[in-house]
Amino acid sequence: DFTQQVTFDIKKCDVHGLEEGPADTSVLTRDQGLGLYRSMQTIRCMEQHVDLLYRQKLILGPCHLYIGQEACAVGIEASIDKADHLITSYRSHGFSFTRGVSVREILAEITGRRGGVSKGRGGPMHMYAPNFYGGNGIVGSQVPLGAGVALACQYRGNDQICVAVYGDGAANQGQLFEAYNMAALWKLPIIFVCENNRYAKWTPMQRVSACTDLYKRADYIPGLRVDGMDVLCVREASKFAKDHCQSGKGPIILELQTYRFHRHGTADRHPSYRNEAEVQEYSNKDPISRLAGQVIHANMTSAQEFEEIDMEIRKEVEEASQFAITDQEPPLHDLCNYVYHNSPPLKIRGIHRWATLVSIGNTL
Amino acid sequence: ITIMAAAARFFVRGAHPKLSFSGVCASAQRSLGAGLLKLSPSCASRTKTHKRHAAHFTFQPDPVPTQYGPTQKMNLFQSVTSALDNTLASDPTAVIFGEDVAFGGVFRCTVGLRDKYGKDRVFNTPLCEQGIVGFGIGVAVAGATAIAEIQFADYIYPAFDQIVNEAAKYRYRSGNMFDCGNLTIRAPWGCVGHGSLYHSQSPEAFFAHCPGLKIVIPRGPVQAKGLLLSCISDKNPCIFFEPKILYRAAVEQVPVDAYTIPLSQAEVLQEGSDVTLVAWGTQIHVMKEVANMAQEKLGVSCEVIDLQTILPWDIDTVCKSVAKTGRLLISHEAPVTGGFAAEISSTVQEECFLNLEAPISRVCGYDTPFPHIFEPFYIPDKWKCLEAIKKMINY
């Protein structure tokens, strides 16, 4: 017989530019707890499969795993609506899942097959869904884009917000400051989320940032520094941020302090820019085990129920993995499609004068 | 259709027949036992390689240079490190900066330099290409030798304004009072087999449209070191694109001491009488193979020219060759429309119109973004080049 609802204590956020931040407690129901666990565990299992597939040379293209950062995507999604908008960087598999892309479509996209969410054309980074504007390869490019989406929301008066996610490396890009300025000036309903995993690829954040308080970076925009390894913290902070935006107060920055357990990308070979002790220290703060521990300790569920969930997830991911390897690659003529919007189909110049392909540009 | 089928032969994919997963799902460290992953039907008949891709070229090393002193076996990234080492040793004002260069760089081009020369001379910058290049221009204008690294050529566009509007025009607009000739920008370039849209681009054509810049692309380690040292000592802002697929694949005997290879001089690698083949970077190795194939299968004698410097390019060497052979094929990975082959083609037809036996052929990438899964079909491989030669011969 399980407890249906518990109030957990969470770490208080550091606050900038505001009287007060989110509360230091979080109310969690049993269903919500199981839901958060399931989401995070699915992402974890899926990403581990991606790593395996990469090592078997079944994946093309640079692949960046979300292992360790699951609390960020899942916590944010728990507080926004499906109708809200989100855009992120190249470390996008977690968000692709939370925004509604199935594990099957994610894995098939990573292996570049027809069944992938972008029809096999985007690869590991470029996955999209309604109100999810992708995975973006160029660092920081997604932030002004997110500001634009927020402007559209404001213009249409539909009470929706946009969440623009970036990393500690992107925090030093000029275009972010341009986006901050416009967002503050026009009070755009945007949450800037910095997933600070302490390393921009191989470079520690503190060596390339004159100001390491990334939540204070846009001096005139309020900010919160949040424990990104605790899904409940992220959830509360995101709720707080969404309320802030929707009440017309303009943008807000969330700095989620998180950590990636794997290398920057699956192709990475550089071994020694982080020390083992640090990786171990953060592994002990694994967001999934943390939530599981809290929820079991509060008697909201049992270890056995979690094991059952694990088995279901593993089965789902394995089936998806099998699909991702056996599905067909996209047809060759798809190489030239969707370069432009054009109707009727457009001739695209090919490898040489005698090869022309025909490009379809309309969704049929 | 024949071309596609031929290209398909080179798209090899395999998989392990048996595999075991372990430790999936972090909290329950359980082994799943051996699971048999079924191969895709199109894979079943292939028993060959487990490679992600068969490379579309075979690197053909240069002969060992004898005129520059003792040599050592080096690959492309090691030859770049050697050039930078020579520079930092002889030029006390030289500094190297970029993203992740302090550890040695994502492609190991700057390994050991920070330890040897100090952290004030080899240092990391934040992630801001526009800032990196702007900063580099400033360093150069003030008199120091600035060697800026852009981590991938695909990321150079935020710096496009700085390069085109500032670096290229500094000398011109100040009436020669100031210049940023001390600036060299290095960037990994070109397709790599698994780079997809944003790790495979060849942007030389964008910059070729900008007078005031020099653009250089080597075909191997010996050329790379000599050309890079020329770029660094050249009194103009230079962009040096390094074919990333060759970083490890290209191994040659490279002189240990400093030496320079002149800029704006194309090199005739192989003489021939029927067709001139012009390319640069990785594509040179494809062209060498094409030349052999043309000789064996068609009895056609090809002259292979490595352009090396894209801007300003060696018009004379190319035109002299076309005047002799009457046919020209230019090949590059970048998309065909507005690619640099267009400039060469246009100039050659102006200079050598009456010498031409057939229209000039360009075998280049499609007019699409660099694709993810379709890469083997996108790149101008040797079969497509051979087909173009056949058509020119039979014109």
Domain boundary residue, one of B198, B223, B255: B255
What is the structure's pLDDT at B48?
36
Residue B100 contacts A, CB cutoff 8 Å: yes
Nearest-Cα residue of chain B relative to residue A289: B27
What is the structure's pLDDT at A165?
98
**Total domains in the fold of chain B:** 3
What is the structure's pLDDT at B33?
28
What is the structure's pLDDT at A60?
79
Q: How confident is the model at residue B54 (pLDDT cuts 50, 70, 90)?
A: low
Domain limits at B11? 2-49
Burial (CB count within 10 angstroms: exposed 0-12, middle 13-18, buried 19+), residue A102: middle
CA distance between the termini of chain A? 53
Contact B155, B130 (CB under 8 A): no
Contact A242, A161 (CB under 8 A): yes
Residues 6+ away with beta carbon under 8 Å from A219: none
- Spell out the alpha helix ranges (H) of A12-141: 30-55, 70-79, 93-98, 103-110
Is B199 catalytic? The answer is yes
Residues of chain A with pLDDT under 70: 271, 351-354, 362-364
Whether the predicted pLDDT of B181 surpasses 60: yes
Q: Give CA–CA dist A183/A188, Å, rounded.
A: 5
Does A139 contact B127 at a Cβ distance shorter than 8 Å? yes
Q: How many separate helices (H) and strands (E) can be counted in chain A?
A: 11, 12
Kind plus residue range of the DSSP H or E element containing A196: strand A190-196
Nearest-Cα residue of chain B relative to residue A336: B368
Which has more pLDDT, B267 or A266? B267
Residue A201 contacts B, CB cutoff 8 Å: yes
Does B38 contact A322 at a Cβ distance shorter than 8 Å? yes
From B56, B199, B285, B332, active-site residue: B199
Residue B142 contacts A, CB cutoff 8 Å: no
- Chain A 106-165, CB below 8 Å of chain B: which residues? 112-113, 120-123, 125-126, 137-140
- Chain B 274-303, CB below 8 Å of chain A: which residues? none
Residue B9 in domain:
yes
Rounded to the nearest 10 degrees, the angle between the axes of helix B283-293 and helix B382-393 is 50
DSSP letter assigned to residue B107: T
Domain boundary residue, one of B255, B285, B309: B255
The nearest CA of chain B is from the CA of A231 a distance in Å of: 16
Q: Give CA–CA dist B89/B189, Å, rounded.
A: 27
Residue B150 in domain:
yes
Nearest residue to B265 via CA among B336, B334, B320, B339: B320
Amino acid at B4: M
Nearest residue to A247 via CA among A25, A86, A18: A18
In this structure, the answer to whether residues B31 and B114 fall within a common structural domain is no
Nearest residue to B132 via CA among A121, A205, A174: A174
In this structure, the answer to whether residues B79 and B136 fall within a common structural domain is yes
- A299 token code pair: 């008697």
Residue B260 in domain:
no
Chain B contact set for A45 (CB, 8 A): 24-25
In this prediction the pTM is: 0.84
Residue A265 contacts B, CB cutoff 8 Å: no
Whether the predicted pLDDT of B25 surpasses 90: no
The nearest CA of chain A is from the CA of B142 a distance in Å of: 23
The domains of chain A, with CATH numbers, are: 5-261+278-330 (3.40.50.970), 332-363 (no CATH)
Contact B357, B395 (CB under 8 A): yes
In this structure, the answer to whether residues B113 and B242 fall within a common structural domain is yes
CATH at residue B335: 3.40.50.920
Residue B262 in domain:
no
Q: Give CA–CA dist A176/B126, Å, rounded.
A: 13
Chain B contact set for A58 (CB, 8 A): 15
Residue A207 contacts B, CB cutoff 8 Å: yes
Report, as an integer, the average pLDDT of B289-313: 97
What is the structure's pLDDT at A272?
78
DSSP string, A110-166: HTT-TTSTTTTSS-SS---BTTB----SSTTTHHHHHHHHHHHHHHHT----EEEEE
Chain B contact set for A208 (CB, 8 A): 124-127
Residues 6+ away with beta carbon under 8 Å from A161: A80, A84, A85, A150, A153, A189, A190, A191, A242, A245, A246
Residue B59 in domain:
no
pLDDT in tens, A121-165: 889 999 999 999 989 989 999 999 999 999 999 999 999 999 999
Sign of CA dihedral B283, B287, B289, B290: positive
From B56, B99, B129, B332, active-site residue: B129
Contact B136, B97 (CB under 8 A): yes
- Chain B 239-268, CB below 8 Å of chain A: which residues? none
Percentage of residues in chain B having pLDDT higher than 70? 86
The nearest CA of chain A is from the CA of B22 a distance in Å of: 10
Residue B380 contacts A, CB cutoff 8 Å: yes
What is the structure's pLDDT at B45?
36
Candidate from B50, B53, B100 with C-beta closest to A202 = B100
CA angle A77/A78/A80 to nearest 5° reads 60
pLDDT in tens, B147-158: 999 999 999 999
Whether the predicted pLDDT of B98 surpasses 90: yes
What is the structure's pLDDT at A346?
77
In this structure, the answer to whether residues B144 and B74 fall within a common structural domain is yes
What is the structure's pLDDT at B1?
36
In this structure, the answer to whether residues B251 and B271 fall within a common structural domain is no
Does A60 contact B373 at a Cβ distance shorter than 8 Å? yes
Residue B56 in domain:
no
In this structure, the answer to whether residues B114 and B156 fall within a common structural domain is yes
Q: How confident is the model at residue B16 (pLDDT cuts 50, 70, 90)?
A: very low
What is the structure's pLDDT at B53?
57
In this structure, the answer to whether residues B274 and B371 fall within a common structural domain is yes
**Main-chain dihedrals φ then ψ at residue A14, nearest 5 degrees:** -75, 140
Domain boundary residue, one of B255, B283, B300: B255
Q: Give CA–CA dist A19/A220, Å, rounded.
A: 14
Nearest-Cα residue of chain B relative to residue A60: B194
pLDDT in tens, B67-79: 999 999 999 999 9
Q: Give CA–CA dist A67/A46, Å, rounded.
A: 9
Chain A contact set for B102 (CB, 8 A): 203
Is B303 catalytic? The answer is no
Q: Give CA–CA dist B122/B137, Å, rounded.
A: 17
- Chain B 355-374, CB below 8 Å of chain A: which residues? 359, 361-369, 371-374
Q: Mutating which of B36, B366, B384, B394 best tests the A interface, going by the most A Cβ atoms within 10 A? A: B366
Chain A contact set for B155 (CB, 8 A): 138-139
ipTM of the complex: 0.78
Q: Give CA–CA dist A361/A364, Å, rounded.
A: 9
In this structure, the answer to whether residues B341 and B195 fall within a common structural domain is no
Sign of CA dihedral A88, A91, A96, A99: negative
In this structure, the answer to whether residues B20 and B96 fall within a common structural domain is no
pLDDT in tens, B189-213: 999 998 989 999 999 999 999 999 9
In this structure, the answer to whether residues B72 and B30 fall within a common structural domain is no
In this structure, the answer to whether residues B29 and B101 fall within a common structural domain is no
**Main-chain dihedrals φ then ψ at residue B51, nearest 5 degrees:** -75, 145
CATH at residue B251: 3.40.50.970
Residue B54 in domain:
no
In this structure, the answer to whether residues B205 and B314 fall within a common structural domain is no
Residue B326 in domain:
yes
**Main-chain dihedrals φ then ψ at residue B321, nearest 5 degrees:** -65, -45
